[in-house]
Amino acid sequence: MQDQTLRVWRGGPVATGVGRDFGRIADGVIVARGERIVYVGAAARVPSDLFDTTAETYDLAGRLVTPGLIDCHTHLVFGGDRASEWAMRLEGAPYAEIARAGGGILSTVTATRGASEAELIASALPRLDSLLADGVTTLEIKSGYGLTLDDELKMLRVARQLGTLRPVRIRTTLLAAHAVPPEYRDDRKTYLAYITDQILPAAAKAGLADAVDAFCETIAFGPEEVAHLFAAATRLGLRVKLHADQLSDSGGAALAARFGALSADHLEFANPEGLAAMAEAGVVGVLLPGAYYVLREKTAPPVAAMRQAGLAMAVASDCNPGTSPLASLRLALHLACTLFGLTPQEAFAGATTIAAKALGLDDHLGCLAPGHLCDLAIWEADHPLHIMSNLGRAPACRRVVGGLSV
Ligand code: DI6
Ligand code: FE
């Protein structure tokens, strides 16, 4: 029997995520039946027939309720550690040079291949817990550090399993086209065929991938190679997304638009035509300020052009061992404002309504609205600005997932 319990949260401000000032209602009420919201609005206007004596009521005692946050781009599962590369970069070694010398992504590939599922779970859980403490209720996790059929599926299984060990919704993305593995260094064509003919169909058959991603960059895969992969993914009925134009303009934005991608992510070097094509095709642009900050990049994503194009902008942690060792979505939102010039409301939408769209979940997640799943973050704060303005001290946060306090 499905849970049909009526639950009511009242006695504090509610920011729905839609409308002016974050959709904030000073004295708000949320009513859920089972896992779904049935009412959200001002306390003074709650329809009386919604209440009965069986309703469980939670007193917010002045705490702020927002939608549970959504981190739409992470590489949360990986083996090993790359702190030494951070130190090397601080001494001047560029990321691309470290990558070409077999460090970077490939050093994490070696460690991930050597790790068992239990070890990968154990190392990912603290990072996951850190994100959950930031009010995250849904997150995306990519593979991409296995680069063999078995190791990519292992990563996806681990990602899915994290969702059974913690109350959180997980979306998985196959990123076998993250780097050319060493054993295929001189035969990248064969590696691509291995992905399209074996890894992709196996992941699809096992139902382990919700989407397919690729790293389109001079140090990774070219646009024609990605187009070939995306065609194969589309034939299998899988949506695509792309690491696009992070370090150079590879035409990634236009490519993502051509395949009706869920999102194109990074976009520091995206050109205006590509951004316009994305907006036209409904592709979300995902900004990843953690990587920009850690790599000490100088070219910020063209946010003014994105606004001009009418592009929907999300913000994510890109939590990974190399370019963005960042397990805080709150900090990513802060950086999106201070480094990229997003308004706080744009940044907040980027981790709620627009992040839901970037994962194809916006019909039932991302904002507080009747019919949507009741995923909430309840903060020791009065206004959404307080969630993003602090560095190093997070307001305490409780979460509700599918109507249940967790
Ligand atoms: N771009 C990124 O930000 C991550 N992957 C990618 O294609 C970096 C991954 C890493 O350095 O391990
Ligand atoms: Fe990434």
Nearest ligand by distance to the CA of 73: 2
In the chain, where does the domain assigned CATH 3.20.20.140 lie?
A: 69-358
Question: In ligand 1, which atom is closest to the CA atom of 108?
Answer: 12
Q: Residue 42 has what pLDDT?
A: 95
What's the DSSP call for residue 396? P
What would the two tokens of residue 316 be?
Answer: 């994510």
Question: In ligand 1, which atom is closest to the CA atom of 324?
Answer: 3
SS3 category, 85: helix
Question: In ligand 1, which atom is closest to the CA atom of 82?
Answer: 12
Q: Which residues line ligand 1 (CB under 6 A)?
A: 75, 104-105, 108, 178, 215, 243, 246, 291, 318, 320-324
The Cα–Cα gap between 307 and 115 comes to 43
Kindly state the average pLDDT of the residues 9-30.
Answer: 97
| 367 touches 19 (CB < 8 A) | no
Share of the chain above pLDDT 90, in %: 93
Q: What is the pLDDT of residues 265-318, one digit of tens each?
A: 999 999 999 999 999 999 999 999 999 999 999 999 999 999 999 999 999 999
Q: Which three-class secondary structure string do you get for 328-379?
A: CHHHHHHHHHHHHCCCHHHHHHHCCHHHHHHCCCCCCCCCCCCCCECCEEEE
For ligand 1, mutation pick of 71, 106, 147, 318 (most atoms within 8 Å of CB):
318
Q: Quickly count helices (H) and strands (E) in the chain.
A: 16, 16
The Cα–Cα gap between 358 and 42 comes to 29
Q: pLDDT-based confidence at 45, cuts 50/70/90? A: confident
Kindly state the average pLDDT of the residues 338-344.
Answer: 98
In the chain, where does the domain assigned CATH 2.30.40.10 lie?
A: 6-67+366-405
Whether 98 shows a pLDDT value over 80: the answer reads yes
Q: Please, what's the largest Cα pairwise distance for the chain?
A: 70
For residue 103, CA distances in Å to 81, 94, 124, 142 come to: 11, 11, 21, 20
For ligand 1, mutation pick of 243, 250, 269 (most atoms within 8 Å of CB):
243
Task: Give exposure, 207-225, as e/b (b: 16+ Cβ within 10 Å).
Answer: ebbbbbbbbbbebbbebeb
Look-up: residue for tokens 């849904």? Answer: 138
Q: Residue 88 has what pLDDT?
A: 92
Q: pLDDT-based confidence at 50, cuts 50/70/90? A: confident
**Per mean pLDDT, which range of 47-61, 149-163, 381-395 is the poorest?**
47-61
Ligand 1 centroid from CA 235, angstroms: 26
Q: Does the predicted TM-score (pTM) go above 0.85?
A: yes
Q: pLDDT-based confidence at 96, cuts 50/70/90? A: confident
For ligand 1, mutation pick of 180, 297, 323 (most atoms within 8 Å of CB):
323
Ligand 1 centroid from CA 49, angstroms: 52
Ligand 2 centroid from CA 102, angstroms: 18
| 128 touches 164 (CB < 8 A) | no
Ligand 2 centroid from CA 294, angstroms: 13
- In this structure, the number of other CB atoms found within 10 A of the CB of residue 401 comes to 20
The Cα–Cα gap between 210 and 212 comes to 7
| 312 touches 284 (CB < 8 A) | yes
Ligand 1 centroid from CA 61, angstroms: 42
For ligand 1, mutation pick of 71, 75, 174 (most atoms within 8 Å of CB):
75
Ligand 1 centroid from CA 323, angstroms: 6
What's the DSSP call for residue 298? S
| 145 touches 75 (CB < 8 A) | yes
The Cα–Cα gap between 301 and 340 comes to 7
Question: In ligand 1, which atom is closest to the CA atom of 105?
Answer: 12
Q: What is the pLDDT of residues 354-403, one digit of tens each?
A: 999 999 999 999 999 999 999 999 999 999 999 999 998 889 999 999 99
The Cα–Cα gap between 330 and 267 comes to 21
Q: Which class does domain 6-67+366-405 fall in?
A: mainly beta
Nearest ligand by distance to the CA of 79: 1
Of 160, 152, 210, 157, the closest CA to residue 181 belongs to: 152
Alpha helices in 208-350 (DSSP H): 223-235, 252-258, 272-281, 289-294, 303-309, 329-340, 344-350
| 197 touches 215 (CB < 8 A) | no
Ligand 1 centroid from CA 183, angstroms: 20
Whether 1 shows a pLDDT value over 80: the answer reads no
Look-up: residue for tokens 């599962």? Answer: 77
Look-up: residue for tokens 């991302």? Answer: 366
Half-sphere exposure of 319 (CA within 13 A, CB side): 24
Whether 143 shows a pLDDT value over 90: the answer reads yes
Nearest ligand by distance to the CA of 318: 2
Q: Which class does domain 69-358 fall in?
A: alpha beta
- The protein residue with its alpha carbon nearest to ligand 1, atom 7, reads 215
What would the two tokens of residue 369 be?
Answer: 């609205």
Beta bridge partners of 265: 243, 286
Q: pLDDT-based confidence at 49, cuts 50/70/90? A: confident
Kindly state the average pLDDT of the residues 169-183.
Answer: 97
